[in-house]
Each structure stands twice: as structure tokens, then as C-alpha cells.
Structure 1
Amino acid sequence: MSERPNVILYHYPFSPYARKVFWYLRLRSIPFTQCIQPPILPRPDLSTKLGITYRRIPVCAIDKDIYCDTSLILKELGKRFPFCITKTCGVKDLLADASELGAGGANVGVVIELVENWANEVFVVAGRLLPGNLPLLKDEKFLKDRGRYWAPGAMSGTREEALASMRRLFHAVETIFLGGGKKWILSGDKPTVADLMAIWPLDWVTTIPNALSLDPTIPTAALITPTTYPLTFAWISRFQSLCKSLPPGKTIVPTLTGQEAKENILAATAMASELGVDEDDPLGLKKGEMVEVVPTDSGVLNPQRGRLLGLGIGEVVLEVDVPNTGGKVVRVHFPRRNYRITRVEVEGKANL
């Protein structure tokens, strides 16, 4: 790599989604810095300093481009830091290249996408199993910010139904993902992105006291344990041990202030290749039109607005004005999947 991309991860340490990206960077020995964010809004390091109103964490800046949604972040990191490059640079990768392993004849990309869908379901079910006595669920600021999703009683269904669903999801790991005595989902001696995509919600929910118990007030009431799902818990433990095995120097990630991160991003000259705007896209949008991007499931109250810079089958790119910089901009990327793009009427003129 003649000029190494500058990577800045905006996150907060206990974000389950951010762990995927944090682990990926650490296990692949990719140099990066971090900008720690509060777990609830507002996040002025993003909104006030960069014009990013999208509410979810993590957000990852790679040079002058800013990527939202973990699936897109990981894909872009894979492009910017291909395994073949890190090998020639003598970098120790603790993740294996999924494309070299195969998946029993199946397309690796399809397997990873299926695993990602499975993991997202695990996270939703896990949310229904959070014990009501968790300090976070008694925090007034947290409930005001995210109560419509996480407050006790906000999610549908009973605890018993959620546990039944979680057992089914653990059963899939035990019999399918790790079937045949595999150590990792795509076999091999090292984990791949497939393991990363699958393990994050299990690493999270298995560390929450009594979350997997029929009665969260009785620890012995747990239905999902290392005894009932030994392969799954051994897999989680294996992955956790791998993360802890990193050399001490690699576990210390430099931290930037919001202002320092902003200055680094705006000073960058390297940018991702232009995506272009697909003229055949059914939305009929044109380059330069003002649009908004929002998730289709949650976070709809915090749209990201910007000028359309790129639109492809799987990705949309906005040009966003950075406040109080005299016209400086950043490019903000979203996946198309699970996101809605709408044309915005600008003041005094409709985008028709």
C-alpha cells in the first residue's frame, strides 16, 4: 500500500454493532483511530462538526468518505485493505480470506448474507429478553432517546416466545453453522467475516446476566447454556480468546477528539472511486438533486440529507455540506438495502 487509507471509527465501546467493525480492524491489524461517541443523541462530533444527522453507530470515515451501516463499512474496508495486500506487507491477519475457503460448494457471498440476516434476527430477539432490572433500562435519558425500541413492554410477544425463538437460533449454530465438527463457519483454521457477522449478537446477549433465563430473576432458570449448546458456546469462547490474544500494543487504539477527527477528514485528499448515478434506477433521481436517506426499520426521525452524488444497485452516496467551513463537503455512503431514498423539495423550488 503506497498510501495507507486513514480510518477513523466513530463508536461507543458497548455498541454491539460497532464491535463488528472494531473486531475486524483489530484482527486484521488495520491501523485506525477512534472518536468515542455518547450512546444517545445528540452527537455533535457528527452532526455539528460534519453535518451528519444519521443517528446510528458506528460510522466510519475512510479518508474523505464516510460510511454508514456496518455491512457497507466492512465491505469497503475489505476493498481498501484486501487480504493480498496485507499479506505482502507482512501484516498478521487473524482473520482468513473468506473467498479462499469456499463454503461447501455454496457461494461465499450468499452464505455471509444469510448469516448476517440470521444475526440481525438474533439481535431483535435478544432485545425482547433484556431483564427489566438492567440499569440501562432505568436510565431516563436512554429511555427518552430510545424508549420506543427498548423500554420494557415496547416489544411485542412474551418472554417465553422470545426464548423459544432464541433456542431455534442457537440450534442453527449448533447444527448448521458448526455442523460436522467445524471450528469456524467456513471451516479452516481461522475465523472469517462470516464468523464476525454471526457472533456479535451472541457475544452480547450471553454476557447479559439472566437474559437467557426463563425467569430473569432466577439464574438457574437458564435454558440456553454451555451444556445445552456446547458447540456454540465453545465457538463464542474461541473467538473471544482470539480477540484477547492480540499483542498489547495492538489493543490500544489512539483516540481523537471530534475536532481532531474532523480536521483529519477534511485534510484528506484521497477519495473513493466515483459511483455515478444509474440512469435506469426506478427512483428516477438525478445527480445533484437534494435527497434524504433513512433506514426502513428504525431511525426514521433522523434522516440524512444531501445532494445525490452516486446511486447504484447496492449503494447511495450523498454530498453533505460541513457546517461553518465555507463550502467544504464530505461524501456520505449508505447501502441501498434497508434504506429509503426520497427526493426533497428545496426552498422555493420543487425537485421534479
Structure 2
Amino acid sequence: MASVKRPPIALFGYDSSPFTQKVRLALRLMRIPYTYVLVPSMMPRPILVNNFNLTYRKIPVLAIGKEVFADTSLIVEWLDSHPAIQAHDRDGTIRRLHEDAGTRVLSRLLTSYVTDRPLFRLTTGLIPSVVWRSHFGTDRAELIGHKLDPDKLEGKVSLNLAGLDTFLSIIEPLFAGINKQGRWILGGKEPSAIDIGFYYQLDWGEKISRGDGIRNLTGGEIEDGTGRGASEVFNQERYPGVWDWFHRFEKHVESLPDHETRIEQKDEQGLEELLSKLEESERSDEVPLLPTPNQQLQHLEEQNGLRIGAKASVRPADTGQWDPTVGTLVGISPEEVVIEPDKPGVVGKEGTKARIEGIRLHFPRIEFVVRPAKQSASKL
């Protein structure tokens, strides 16, 4: 059987974004070659608007040819499911992030409802207050939809450390057991998506709490090194099981080959070469969707105004609600929605269409709000 041609894969993110690191870990564990494009930590990001009609402001964004994916919960599932991008061992074994259907369900639930949200709120609460006093704080206030009080957030660091301590206390017995067996969180011989989920949050939280990465986060406004740290609760003596697993995972990742090609923000030649490849990539006639047990309940979706070919507005249910993405609904399932975005035009050049035509934007249904939208809608 002939192999499927692998489309170009591009990850758009920045180094101090924990969710960008999550996808980079997944790509490395799966041994998938890709291009990592550095974008600013704050708006605007004209590279995404100008080339993909993408006004969605969260990071990262992953392009697999002309299929563009938002939110890491969906990105990781697509990496694990797309037959054209999976890497194979010499014996033909496919690298997967889930061993079977059971571990896949558990991993998805734990990631979507534990590590990506409640745990992220705790680790975000460890960011040094100097960050919230920078322009980054203003940008994130716009993302959240209300002003941020740096003094109040500084006063909550101890509360968030206590919350992290509670979290580590709950999971410690699990890690103590799997370390003795030389296994990973869900019992496999190789790390799974949930190992990535726990690791990327703890790694980012530990680093950002002591100011490692805040220079990148604030666009160079604040230098690294200012922060209380998390060592009061996250250390080898207090939680040896989690600590040993954490460093075992770290060593495992470092032992793997790195197939990442990095394009810095000012690398115009590298970016042009990548965009040309994405522009030339073929798009399937059929809208690809994640495999699900059942198709959408068409009558129910239509009762909610979601008909194929109609205008739809998609926004996160938490932050970023004021910047919905509007376009034509072209695909929908119980777990995913796909739109062809309206053309907002090149930044500073009203009415100019984006460079890459035929883009389809994929969003998860979990923690996203999908509503019918009028032709001229720009706000919900």
C-alpha cells in the first residue's frame, strides 16, 4: 500500500507559552518533523491574520497543510489520529500518544478537565506580579475581559502554592507506584498524552514562578529572574514520586531525536519558504474530522442554527470571548467544528484577502461556544 504524502506541518507559538510547549512535546514524542514559527506573546499577530484569516488570539495554532487547528486538546488528538503525519519505527510500528481506547478516553478527560484548566489556573497564579504590571498584563486583561490588579494577584501567590500542594498531595501515591514499575501514568511502557499534560504544566509553573521565561512572556520588557518559585511545595523531599517521574520524563524526552525546524520572528526567508509550502499543499475535497463513535445529531444542530453552509461564530468559553472567529460552517461533529473563515483583510490594508486560500479552521466543542452568526457579525 502506497504511503500517504505528508503535508507540511507548522506550529505557531512562543517559547514561554505552556500550551506551545505541550504541542512541542507531543510532536517530539511522536518523532514528527515540523516547523516551529515564533510569534509575539501579545497581539497583534499579523502573520496569522494575513496568511490564514485567523483572528483567534490564543496560542498555539497548528497548520497541517491547509487544515488549521486551534486549542491543544484538538491539536494533540489530530496528531495522534492523522494517518498522513504519524511517524513509524523501522518495524512499521506507529508512534501513538494513546495505547488503546480506554487510555485515550482517560487521557482526554484528565487533560481537558484537570491539567489544561484547574492546574493551569494554579500555575498561572504563580506568575510574578511584575509581569502583570507590564504591557503583558494589559494585553491579558483584554483577553480575559476585565482589568487585572497586580497587588491582588501578588497576594494570591501563597494561596496558589497551597493549591498546588493539595494537587501534588492527591497525585503523589500514583507516581510512587508507577516509578517502582518503571511505567508511565496510565501504565504504559511509553509516555502518553496525559504524561505530557502533567509534565508541561508542572515544568512551566516551576519555571515561570521563579521568573524563568518572563522576558519572552513580556516581549523583553521584564528580565528573567524575579519570582518566589515553587520549591516550597514541589521538591524531592515532599513529593518524591512526582519529582522522580518528572525528571524521568524529562530525560526520556531529551533522549529522543529532535525534528524541529525553528523560524525566528525576523527570519523572512524561512517564513516565506514555509508559507509557500503551505500555499502549495493540496486540500481534500471532503472536510476531515476526528473519528467519533457517532456523527452529529443533525436535527439537534439545526435547531441550534448550525447548518452546513451557514455563517457561524466560534469563541472560547473562558477567555478570548470578545474575539470570535466568524466564517462558513463546513464541518461539524459531536467533538469538532470546522469553518472557512471570513476574510478580515491584511492588517492595515482593509479589504485585502489573506494570502493562503482554502484554509479550514478546526475548533473543539469542549469549552468552546458555537453559535449562528449573521454575514456582517464581528462580535457576539
- Asked if these proteins are the same fold (TM beyond 0.5), I'd say yes
- 1:253 aligned partner, one-letter code: T
Give the one of 111, 119, 132 matched to 2:115.
119
The residue correspondences of 1:1-352 to structure 2 (distance < 5 A) are 1-81=3-83, 86-87=88-89, 93=95, 97-100=97-100, 107-116=102-111, 117-120=113-116, 121-133=118-130, 136-140=131-135, 142-147=136-141, 152-153=150-151, 158-176=156-174, 179=177, 181-182=180-181, 183-210=183-210, 222-247=232-257, 250=258, 252-255=260-263, 257=268, 258-271=271-284, 273-274=286-287, 278-280=297-299, 281=301, 282-321=303-342, 323=345, 324=353, 328-347=357-376
How far apart are residue 295 of structure 1 and its match? 0.2
C-alpha spacing 1:262/1:220, structure 2 compared with 1 (3 Å): closer
C-alpha spacing 1:89/1:63, structure 2 compared with 1 (3 Å): farther
- 2:45 aligned partner, one-letter code: R
Q: Aligned equivalents of 1:84 and 1:328: distance in 2?
A: 26
TM-score normalised by structure 2 residue count = 0.77
How far apart are residue 51 of structure 1 and its match? 0.8
- 1:128 aligned partner, one-letter code: G
Deviations 1:178-230 (A, max 9, x none): 5453541022332111201221110111223558xxxx977798133221011
TM-score normalised by structure 1 residue count = 0.82
How far apart are residue 84 of structure 1 and its match? 8.2
Task: Describe the SS at the equivalent of 1:170.
Answer: helix
Q: Aligned equivalents of 2:284 and 2:320: distance in 1?
A: 27
Q: Aligned equivalents of 1:55 and 1:327: distance in 2?
A: 19
What is the total number of aligned residue pairs between the two structures?
332
- Would you say the 8 A contact 1:63–1:271 is kept in 2? no
**RMSD of the TM alignment (CA)?**
3.2
- 1:164 aligned partner, one-letter code: A
C-alpha spacing 1:53/1:126, structure 2 compared with 1 (3 Å): same
- Would you say the 8 A contact 1:131–1:210 is kept in 2? yes
C-alpha spacing 1:204/1:41, structure 2 compared with 1 (3 Å): same
- 1:289 aligned partner, one-letter code: A
Deviations 1:299-323 (A, max 9, x none): 1121111111112111100012554
- Would you say the 8 A contact 1:306–1:318 is kept in 2? yes
How far apart are residue 272 of structure 1 and its match? 8.1
Stretches of structure 2 that go unaligned for 5 or more consecutive residues are 212-225, 290-294, 346-352
Q: Aligned equivalents of 1:199 and 1:32: distance in 2?
A: 21
Deviations 1:38-63 (A, max 9, x none): 11000001012221000011100111
